[in-house]
């Protein structure tokens, strides 16, 4: 006798008020992952329904009788999203919730149902998402609406739509794992399906199938947006004339590529002609314009020195106002600034010779400097003192003091024991113990900066 297969009876569906539902401790999902509860609640509110019913079981009392309360072992995130809507007063506490009610006497554990609902769910292939975004876009949804519905950026939607716009032949190869996602992204540089398919066929005979090689071969007949011709014309003018700009949404493309090279050259020639006419109106005998000139094109040509034009009245007034402001400033500030600048230049000249002269215990610079006219001798003296202090700090113990003469004729002695450089020992003790005479270094006037003279 032929055996008969036992028929399967599915669990019944029932709309249960939300206040009769509680979250079960048998739910295996403990770690937060994926879309947040807030985003899921917003999606449920936007749709006005649950796309998937809750899996519930009746709660029994001590006697094994049903209490009218149902626990939710599978669908905890949906339950929390509904709970958030109730707290926000966007959903009534008694709102009916579609549920699949499991028999209390079943031998399938609640943890089994919760785990199976998550493990046996197959994630969507990326290509299916690309095509779904494309279908929604073709049916009237804007890129912004799609991004808001799935909680992604608008740029992500544009990238998915660009991937879905690749040749269907290449998309089928990608679906069968014959092409990587990075390679597919490289093909989005151009919208020419014929060119995409031809290149893929050519790559089958090549060892180099890297994404950068695909991009290079797809754009080898184009002009980069950073090219001088593109910068001269401008992308707006090129696009208004009907030109197409290829953009890479997945890599930095430096502005993209201009596909129609012939159109670009025509626009460049027209703009060069217009600019030449403007220059010719200035009175030149002849003008030659071109995108590039060969090396040595200026041979047998001479440079003309132009005649400076008169300043406009506004420019002259500005110059006079600045000169008046400069003249009205305090003289001592100008004098001190100029003197310090000259002394800084002098220090740069004196330092190398001073370091080469460290042959004895003492170095004396017997030079008297004469600076241009200065209204304040005290300022010059103070400036020389600062320079002397700088020299003392830079010299070693073999050069315990320095003597300078200021433009005002005041000798400035900077002994090693002075507060300018307290770490040196006193000059008297060093020089008295030394039987050698002090060496004197005379520096030539050629070492002095311009504007200074040595007596």
Give 236-290 pLDDT, tens digit per residue. Answer: 999 999 998 999 988 888 889 999 999 999 999 999 999 988 888 888 888 888 8
User: What does the longest C-alpha to C-alpha distance in the chain come to?
Assistant: 136
Find out whether 72 and 79 touch, Cβ atoms under 8 Å.
yes
Nearest to 125 by CA among 177, 167, 162, 165: 177
Nearest to 28 by CA among 92, 120, 100: 120
Instruction: Please enumerate in sequence order all residues whose Cβ is within 8 A of that of 215, keeping only pairs 6 or more positions apart, or say none.
Output: 186, 189, 248, 251
Token match 């005479």: residue? 437
Nearest to 16 by CA among 73, 45, 58: 58
Tell me, what DSSP letter sits at residue 328? T
What is the tens place of the pLDDT at every residue in 75-110?
Answer: 999 999 999 999 999 999 999 999 999 988 888 898
Q: Is 82 exposed, middle or buried (0-12, 13-18, 19+ CB in 10 A)?
A: buried
If pLDDT is split at 50, 70 and 90, which confidence band does 330 have? low
Give strand pairing partners of 58.
Answer: 70
Whether residue 165 is predicted with pLDDT greater than 90 in this model: the reply is: yes
This prediction's pTM: 0.58
Nearest to 436 by CA among 354, 353, 365, 362: 362
Q: How many CB atoms lie within 10 A of CB 355?
A: 13
Q: Is 254 exposed, middle or buried (0-12, 13-18, 19+ CB in 10 A)?
A: exposed
More confident residue, 386 or 243: 243
Output 247-250 pairs: Cβ under 8 A, ≥24 positions apart: 247/189, 248/188, 248/189, 248/215, 249/155, 249/158, 249/159, 249/162, 249/188, 250/159, 250/185, 250/186, 250/188
The residue-averaged pLDDT of 113-123 equals 87
CA distances from 209 to 175, 180, 181, 206 (A): 18, 10, 13, 7
Token match 């003790």: residue? 429
Whether residue 179 is predicted with pLDDT greater than 50 in this model: the reply is: yes
User: Distance between CA 385 and CA 418 in Å, rounded?
Assistant: 12
Alpha helices by DSSP H, listed for 139-260, are 143-149, 154-164, 168-175, 181-187, 193-203, 211-218, 228-233, 235-240
Q: Which structure tokens are listed for 223?
A: 């002009």
**Which pLDDT score, from 0 to 100, does residue 454 have?**
36
For 352, phi and psi rounded to 5 degrees?
A: -60, -40
Start-to-end Cα distance in the chain = 136
User: Distance between CA 81 and CA 85 in Å, rounded?
Assistant: 6
Considering the segment(s) 12-119 as one domain, its CATH architecture is Alpha-Beta Complex (3.90)
Domain ranges in the chain? 12-119, 126-221+246-255, 222-245+256-291, 346-454
**Which pLDDT score, from 0 to 100, does residue 185 have?**
94
User: Could you write out the three-class secondary structure of 10-53?
Assistant: CCEEEEEEHHHEEECCCCCCCCCCCCCHHHHHHHHHHHCCCCCC
Instruction: Please enumerate in sequence order all residues whose Cβ is within 8 A of that of 424, keeping only pairs 6 or more positions apart, or say none.
Output: 392, 397, 400, 416, 417
Find out whether 125 and 172 touch, Cβ atoms under 8 Å.
no
Out of 122-126, 259-263, 294-298, pick the least confident: 294-298
More confident residue, 421 or 223: 223
**Which pLDDT score, from 0 to 100, does residue 332 have?**
53
């Amino acid at each position: 006798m032929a055996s008969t297969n036992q028929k399967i009876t599915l669990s019944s569906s029932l709309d249960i008020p939300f206040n009769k539902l509680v979250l079960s401790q048998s739910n295996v999902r403990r770690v937060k992952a994926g879309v947040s509860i807030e985003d899921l609640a917003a999606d449920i509110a936007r749709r006005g329904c649950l796309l998937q019913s809750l899996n519930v079981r009746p709660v029994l009392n001590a006697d094994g009788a049903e209490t009218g309360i149902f626990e939710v072992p599978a669908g905890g995130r949906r339950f929390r999203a509904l709970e958030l809507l109730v707290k926000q007063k966007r959903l009534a506490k008694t709102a009916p919730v579609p549920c699949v009610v499991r028999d209390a006497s079943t031998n399938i554990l609640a943890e089994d149902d919760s785990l199976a609902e998550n493990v046996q769910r197959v994630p969507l292939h990326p290509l299916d998402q690309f095509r779904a975004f494309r279908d929604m876009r073709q049916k009237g949804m804007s890129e912004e609406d799609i991004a808001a519905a799935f909680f992604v950026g608008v740029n992500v939607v544009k990238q998915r739509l660009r991937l879905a716009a690749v040749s269907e032949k290449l998309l089928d190869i990608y679906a069968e794992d014959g092409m990587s996602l990075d390679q597919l992204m490289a093909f989005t540089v151009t919208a020419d399906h014929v060119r995409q398919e031809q290149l893929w066929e050519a790559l089958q005979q090549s060892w180099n199938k890297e994404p950068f090689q695909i991009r290079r071969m797809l754009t080898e007949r184009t002009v980069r947006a950073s090219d001088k011709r593109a910068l001269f014309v401008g992308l707006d003018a090129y696009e208004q004339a009907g030109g197409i700009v290829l953009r890479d949404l997945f890599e930095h493309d430096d502005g993209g590529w201009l596909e129609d090279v012939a159109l670009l050259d025509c626009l460049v020639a027209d703009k060069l002609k217009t600019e030449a006419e403007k220059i010719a109106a200035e009175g030149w005998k002849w003008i030659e314009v071109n995108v590039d000139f060969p090396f040595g094109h200026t041979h047998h040509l001479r440079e003309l020195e132009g005649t400076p034009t008169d300043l406009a009245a506004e420019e002259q007034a500005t110059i006079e106002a600045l000169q008046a402001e400069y003249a009205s400033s305090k003289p001592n500030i100008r004098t001190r600034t100029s003197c310090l600048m000259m002394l800084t230049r002098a220090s740069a000249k004196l330092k190398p010779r001073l370091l080469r002269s460290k042959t004895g215990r003492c170095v004396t610079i017997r030079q008297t400097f004469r600076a241009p006219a200065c209204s304040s001798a005290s300022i010059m003296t103070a400036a020389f003192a600062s320079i002397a202090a700088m020299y003392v700090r830079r010299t070693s113990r073999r050069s315990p003091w320095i003597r300078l003469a200021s433009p005002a004729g005041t000798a400035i002695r900077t002994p090693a024991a002075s507060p300018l450089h307290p770490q040196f020992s006193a000059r008297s003790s060093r020089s008295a113990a030394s039987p050698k005479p002090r060496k004197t270094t005379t520096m030539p006037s050629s070492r002095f900066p311009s504007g200074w003279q040595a007596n």
